[in-house]
Amino acid sequence: MIVQIILIIAAYLIGSLSTAIITCKLLGLPDPRTQGSGNPGATNVLRSGGKKAAIITLVGDLLKGLLPVLIAQAFELSGLALALVALAAFLGHLFPAYHGFKGGKGVATGLGVLLGLHWAVGVAALVTWLLAAGISRISSMGALVAATLTPIWIALTLGDFWLTMTGCVMMILLYWRHWGNIQRILAGTEPKIGAKGR
């Protein structure tokens, strides 16, 4: 039980590290929270800091979700305990302890979590995102469709109730963090991929 609690807390603290803020600070770029959409994520960093900073942010955010889950897997955690570690890493990104509990939208970190649970789940989510984003030409649409189908991919691949429930919670949180995007999609004003967006 003690090991499980330590891993859950560690997952949250790792998730709380803002790759976007750290990357921009190290590269001498403006704080992403003061630029563009104000979201500390790879997409906003791309707009304000360029491809290099965005790629570093994307990889860092993905690793924040991947590593805690892989470590939990190495300790042979399963079921509810593994689900809590996965969720803690994801919540750390959304509500970082080091940055006033104001974090990013969770797409890259969520993908890292899914890859950690099972590579097939992560690949399925990524392919879903690419297809939906490619067809709609709206990045946020890809994320929302992928989030919607994630619990199904988890259930089909892992067949675990608690991990499937974690996928459902992540889906709900992603919808909440993308509420502004959803409203713009419905209004037909959400920026297309390649266009200057928000």
Per-residue pLDDT of 119-174, as tens digits, reads: 999 999 999 999 999 999 998 899 999 999 999 999 999 999 999 999 999 999 99
Q: In the structure encoding, which two tokens stand for residue 165, read together?
A: 């429930």
Q: What per-residue confidence (pLDDT) applies to 193?
A: 76
pLDDT confidence tier of residue 195, bands split at 50, 70 and 90: low
pLDDT exceeds 60 at position 196 = no
Q: Checking phi first, is residue 17 left (phi over 0); if not, alpha (psi -120 to 50) or beta?
A: beta
Q: What angle do CA 7, 177, 39 make, to 5 degrees?
A: 90
pLDDT confidence tier of residue 198, bands split at 50, 70 and 90: very low
CA distance 59 to 108: 8
